[in-house]
A and B are shown apart, each in its own frame.
Chain A
Amino acid sequence: AQKITQTQPGMFVQEKEAVTLDCTYDTSDQSYGLFWYKQPSSGEMIFLIYQGSYDEQNATEGRYSLNFQKARKSANLVISASQLGDSAMYFCAMRGEADSSYKLIFGSGTRLLVRP
């Protein structure tokens, strides 16, 4: 069975500093995708970044980067130069090839608070 674990229920970071949000996953699939979504207090789910299991380089999207360590089954999100608008819930998720629905499996999330 596939599982996503986010062990940090809440995190604080000072504005303009970098922060790492942890995510570990468990799957027996060879091909899978890892995603990070942001959920601000308004409630919508915003796609941030994607990493494929066969991608050799870590994904980057602007201030977001994904630290992918396949052997350790971790896919940590790094946010550089934090901004007040980064305060939100962050969810790690995965999709595996063996699941015919290709549904997203979500972790329980990490609440990030950026301090001015």
Chain B
Amino acid sequence: NAGVTQTPKFQVLKTGQSMTLQCAQDMNHNSMYWYRQDPGMGLRLIYYSASEGTTDKGEVPNGYNVSRLNKREFSLRLESAAPSQTSVYFCASSRGQGTYNEQFFGPGTRLTVL
């Protein structure tokens, strides 16, 4: 039981390059989330998917797109990377959207944009 997995673990991009961060969960969770964590701060929501087939913007969606490929997989795409997107990216999942459902996090992807 792997929980939430993310690939890659580390990535260095040049400004303007594109890439896709992959996330998968094997807990049969309905909801999935992408957060970013900047130095000295908590996590901020980029996009989320309440259930398969739906996606919505979070607090900081500019410069990103997402795809909920199926119930297991939720990818995050940077179309044209900028230095301001240097961050650690976390994918998370939860059973549903109630206030009581804890979110389980992947190990994170450390992205540097030069």
Contacts and interface: CB of A to CB of B under 8 A. Distances in A.
Given A44-B105, A44-B108, A45-B90, A102 B98 contact: yes
Contacts of B35: 104
B34 to A, nearest CB: 10
Contact of A101 (B56, B98, B108, B110): B56
A96 B50 CA distance: 15
A50 B102 contact: yes
B41 A108 contact: yes
Contacts of A96: 99
Interface residues of A, number: 29
A102 B104 contact: no
Contacts of B53: none
10 contacts: A33-B99, A35-B103, A45-B108, A97-B99, A101-B97, A103-B48, A106-B42, A106-B43, A107-B42, A108-B41
Interface residues on B, range: 20 to 34
B24 to A, nearest CB: 16
Contact of B100 (A37, A50, A93): A50
A4 interface: yes
B100 A52 contact: yes
A32 B48 contact: no
A35 to B, nearest CB: 6
B50 A101 contact: yes
A102 B99 contact: yes
Interface string A7-28: 0000000000000000000000
Contacts of B102: 35, 47, 50
